Amino acid sequence: MKTNLFAVIVIGSMVFAATSGIVRAAEPTTLFDFSAGFDVGSVVTTDSKASLTGDGTLRIETGRAERWPGVTLKAPGGKWDLSQYEYVSLDVNNLGDSSITLSCRIDNPGADGSKNCVTDSTTVAPKQSASFMVRLVPGEVQLSAPLELLGMRGYPTHERKVDPANVTQLLLFVTKPTTDHVFEIDNIRAGGSVQVIDAKTFIPFIDEFGQFIHRDWSGKTHSLTELVDSRKTEEEDLAANPGPSDRDQYGGWTAGPKLEATGSFRVEKFNGKWWLIDPEGRLFWSHGIDCVGSGNATPISDRTGYFAKLPPANSPFARFYGTGGWAPHGYYKDHSPYKTYDFSQANLLLKYGKTWREDFAEITHRRLKSWGMNTIANWSDSSIYLMRKIPYVCTINSNSRKLEGSEGYWGKFYDVFDPGFRAALAERIATEKDRTADDPWCIGYFVHNEIAWGDELSLAVAALTSPAEQPAKNVFIEDLKAKYRTIEKLNAAWATSHANWQDLLNSVEPPDKDKARADLAAFYTKTAETYFKTIRDELKKAAPNKLYLGCRFAWVNDRAALAATKFCDVVSYNRYSYSVADQGLPENIDMPIIIGEFHFGALDRGMFHTGLRKTMNQQDRADKYKSYVQGALQNPYIVGTHWFQYKDQATTGRGDGENYQIGFVDICDRPYPEIVEACREVGYGMYDYRLKNP
């Protein structure tokens, strides 16, 4: 694999433009040196032991007797003044045989775990090392005074959770451990820098390309010339790195074993690990990326002043104005519909010209192969994946009656007992009949995403607290009638006082969970199994040779996951963590798992939110990508990981306010070199790595 040519990486102190001149990041400062001479007796232990190693690290062994076993490291002299720094970071080496989730808390006087302190955590796989940080301030940019900013999850603020000038101690701990842990810590330091911007001159803060105006960074696009010229430098990089040579047309491993070829993707356990098998019978591990497409609209209603140069109505770029209505959370939830503008597509027109759609699609396929990827994953543009150059997964969503008593982050659960549930699925799946159902490039189908599974009784309780006409409620009560025969027997079991079955049907009061647990659990299982069975039956009826990849669990209990194992070909999880090396299924069920979403983000390239898992900078983001995917490659159950997402979200957010720095490419269609190189390193050698690592 050749080196990356298409961007220059700035190493060392970051330089950025500030409203008051040039600001340089402060040099990192060491807070603790664990070499000879450190007084280990100064370490306060809680259900733990602390000792120094010959390598100059602090070794910590934690037990399970306390809720938060760990250590407290008090500031020499009583406090640190860290007011010039952005974060505290440290290195962790997990010496144990199981993953560890380690938290670090930074305290001011009076800290109690929620007030006067800030906490963050990371998960480190067995026998692995990692670095992580705890932010002293929300971001790298701070306002001089409060300023109301709308429609974004992350944005420059005036507020701080802790006073960096009065940090008294650091706490390192694990939460409710189920096993003992042994780990080493080292290199505890303060680093980064915060740029303070005058709130009076902050707006507008987005330039004509959709970038943050008030700072500069490596890879920022400063002009149309730079935008267009980036094509040439990337072309050189792609030509130097065309992709792994030991792959068949689907991305399967030609240097590995040849298994049964069925003309479709399937799953098989080989040498003790689960694999996808491609249509030609080659081992296939799905190394992919979500949301492959050109669109990236941001709301502009009620905040047009944020943008320095929105095009006039008669401009060729006016085509990129639009209207949005999706906003399940945030400011625009109550301000829809709203007007939008898509800087991403406008930049593609500037960069590629009139054929920008075709050119973007072509270079996207070349990029993914060059980066060592072999899957266009969920939420992607069908016009790109149906070019049939890279295998893809298909996204199935349907809309039918909801279970009114349920609740979830993205909305209510489906009433799977309503006939409309199956009918809506069948209608949606039928649209794939002449498109993907018999396409060898289609790996399979994800159906739904991050739905409201709740705890293991929640859907049964939701049925009982729904209106009398709810189909699920009627089915549940019929089951109770069959079991108890009379309402008196049910009342005796549940300690209720319903006058008759109709009274129970009309009631929206939840029962005592402890007394009704067995019946609630049984109906939850029935609901979950009906959900998965209905989908499996409809999918296999329409596309018998495609894999059912599950529903992309985010928040899930074991009862729901067990139901999935009975009907899915592969169980899917969206796992926003630092490691999935230990990811498995309840009761150690032996079947394949796929990771539908994960990501890491940083704030060193002009954006305001890291996404769900933060990193210190782009190199740290790349390192954590490599660690995450290699941990998955070592996991015998996992058959693929799909990064969320291809492009950064808009700096000013999408409809629900998400404005995460989570792309492989930025708003100007320029790839981030650090994560691309990490992806190549993983992707080019992933098959050999998976076979050789136990």
Last residue of a domain, one of 546, 573, 607: 546
Least confident range of 14-28, 513-527, 617-631, 675-689? 14-28
| Rounded to 5°, angle at Cα 110 from 105 and 113 | 40
**47 plus 176 within the same structural domain:** yes
Residue 92 lies in a domain: yes
Band (17; pLDDT cuts 50, 70, 90): very low
pLDDT at 185 over 70: yes
Quick one: which of 160, 150, 17 has its CA closest to 86? 160
Residue 245 is predicted with a pLDDT of 97
Rounded to 5°, the CA angle 137-75-165 comes to 35
Residue 23: band (very low, low, confident or very high) from pLDDT cuts 50, 70, 90: very low
- Cα separations (Å) of 140 from 250, 337, 605? 42, 32, 10
- pLDDT of 224 strictly over 80: yes
- pLDDT of 8 > 50? The answer is no
Query: At 278, which amino acid appears?
Result: D
Say if residue 155 is in the same domain as residue 87. Answer: yes
Q: Work out the average pLDDT over 426-435.
A: 97
Given a contact cutoff of 8 angstroms between Cβ atoms, the answer to whether 646 and 289 are in contact is yes
Asked whether residue 144 carries a pLDDT value surpassing 60, the answer given is yes
Res 14 pLDDT > 80: no
Q: Are 317 and 216 in contact (CB under 8 A)?
A: no
Among 138, 165, 197, the domain-final residue is: 197
**pLDDT at 6 (0 to 100):** 30
What pLDDT score does 25 carry? 55
**Same domain as 369, residue 274:** yes
Bridge partner list, 17: 22
Q: What is the pLDDT of residue 27?
A: 82
| Distance, CA of 551 to CA of 554 (rounded, Å) | 9
Same domain, 135 and 178: yes
Which of helix, strand or coil describes residue 4? Answer: coil
The residue whose two tokens read 């029935």 is: 526
The answer to whether residues 586 and 688 belong to one domain is yes
166 and 74 co-located in one domain: yes
- The answer to whether residues 372 and 400 belong to one domain is no
Structure-token pair, residue 312: 């006039």
CA angle 245, 250, 251 (to 5 degrees): 40
Which DSSP category does 500 fall into? S
**Separation between Cα atoms, residue 14 and residue 618, nearest integer Å:** 12
Q: Percent of the chain, pLDDT > 90?
A: 92
Which of 308, 141, 300, 159 lies closest to 216, judged by CA? Answer: 141
The verdict on 542 and 561 lying in the same domain is no
Instruction: Over range 438-443, report the average pLDDT.
Output: 98
**The total number of structural domains that make up the chain:** 3
Average pLDDT over residues 235-254: 98
- Give me the pLDDT at residue 530, please: 98
Instruction: Find the CATH number of the domain harbouring 123.
Output: 2.60.120.430
**Secondary structure element (H or E) that encloses residue 642, with its range:** strand 638-643
- Mean pLDDT of the 46-58 span: 96
- Whether 122 is in a domain gets the answer yes
pTM of the full structure: 0.93
Kindly state the greatest CA–CA separation across the chain: 81
State mean pLDDT over 463-491. Answer: 98
Q: In terms of domains, do 402 and 338 share one? A: no
| Residue 638 within any structural domain of the chain | yes
Q: b/e map of 484-503 (b: 16 or more CB within 10 Å)?
A: beebeebeebbebebeebee
Kindly state the average pLDDT of the residues 92-99: 94
> Quick check: 693 pLDDT over 90?
no
Measure the CA–CA gap between 633 and 237, rounded to whole angstroms.
27
- 276: CATH: 3.20.20.80
User: What pLDDT is attached to residue 1?
Assistant: 40
Q: Kindly report, residue by residue over 307-354, the tens digit of the pLDDT.
A: 999 999 999 999 999 999 999 999 999 999 999 999 999 999 999 999
Residue 11 lies in a domain: no
Model confidence at 10, pLDDT cuts 50, 70, 90, reads very low
User: Residue 313 corresponds to which tokens in the numbers above?
Assistant: 């109505």
Q: Which domain holds residue 132?
A: 20-197
Contacts of 525 (CB under 8 A, 6+ apart): 559, 562, 563
* The pair of three-digit structure tokens given for residue 247, joined into one six-digit string: 């792959």
Of 145, 171, 197, which residue sits at a domain end?
A: 197
pLDDT mean over 576-585 = 95
Residue 607 lies in a domain: yes
Pair 107, 30 in one domain? yes
Q: Is the pLDDT of residue 470 over 70?
A: yes
Q: How far is CA 343 from the centre of its chain?
A: 23
Same domain, 410 and 325: no
The pair of three-digit structure tokens given for residue 70, joined into one six-digit string: 């760990």
In a domain, 1, yes or no: no
The pLDDT, as a whole number, for residue 4 is 35
- Domain check: are 559 and 520 in the same one? no
Q: Is residue 86 part of a domain?
A: yes
Exposure b/e, 257-266, CB count within 10 A at least 16 = b: eebeeeebbb
Three-state DSSP state, 187: strand
Cα–Cα distance between 558 and 552 in angstroms, integer?
A: 14
Q: Say how far apart CA 399 and CA 422 lie, in whole Å.
A: 10
Q: Contact 639/274 with Cβ under 8 angstroms?
A: yes
Residue 370 covered by a domain: yes
